[in-house]
C-alpha cells in the first residue's frame, strides 16, 4: 500500500497519531474531525495515499463508491436523522488543508454554517 511518511493522515492510518475512530477496514478509515463544523463531523479516508481528487483514476472508482456508501451507514449509526452534507476539498484553491484525499461528512443543524 502506498503511503507518504510526511502525511498526517497516513500517520493516523499507521497508528502513529491517535484518532477517534468510528470505522476501519482494509481500505478505509473513518474518524471524528478534530475541529468539527457540525454536531457530527467525520472524515472518511482511503488508507492508500491519494493526494487529492486530482489524482483519482478509474481504478479508484470502487473505493470512492465505498466511501460514499460508508458515509450513509455512519450517519445512521451516529444518529443523524435530518440530513447531512458531503464535502471533498481539492487543492489549495479548493481549501484542501491536508494533502490526502478525505471526505467530510457533516450532520446536524446547519452543518455548513460555522460560528
Amino acid 2: pLDDT:
75
Whole-structure pTM value: 0.93
The catalytic site residues sit at 102
- 34, 39, 47: which is closest to 110 by C-alpha? 39
pLDDT tens per residue across all 115 residues of the chain: 678 889 999 999 999 999 999 999 999 999 999 999 999 999 999 999 999 999 999 999 999 999 999 999 999 999 999 999 999 999 999 999 999 999 999 998 765 565 5
Enumerate the β-bridge partners of residue 104.
43, 87
Return the H-helix or E-strand segment holding 44: strand 40-46
Structural domains in the chain? 8-107 (3.30.428.10)
pLDDT of residue 114: 55
Given this model, what pLDDT does residue 5 score?
Answer: 85
Whether 50 and 101 have beta carbons less than 8 Å apart is answered as yes
Amino acid at each position: 500500500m502506498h503511503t507518504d511518511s510526511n502525511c498526517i493522515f497516513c500517520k493516523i492510518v499507521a497508528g502513529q497519531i491517535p484518532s477517534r475512530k468510528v470505522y476501519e477496514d482494509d481500505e478505509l478509515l473513518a474518524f471524528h474531525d478534530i475541529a468539527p463544523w457540525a454536531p457530527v463531523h467525520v472524515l472518511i479516508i482511503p488508507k492508500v495515499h491519494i493526494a487529492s481528487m486530482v489524482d483519482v483514476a478509474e481504478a479508484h472508482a470502487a473505493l470512492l463508491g465505498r466511501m460514499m456508501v460508508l458515509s450513509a451507514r455512519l450517519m445512521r449509526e451516529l444518529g443523524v436523522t435530518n440530513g447531512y452534507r458531503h464535502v471533498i476539498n481539492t487543492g489549495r484553491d479548493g481549501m484542501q488543508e491536508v494533502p490526502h484525499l478525505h471526505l467530510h461528512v457533516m450532520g446536524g443543524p446547519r452543518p455548513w454554517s460555522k460560528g
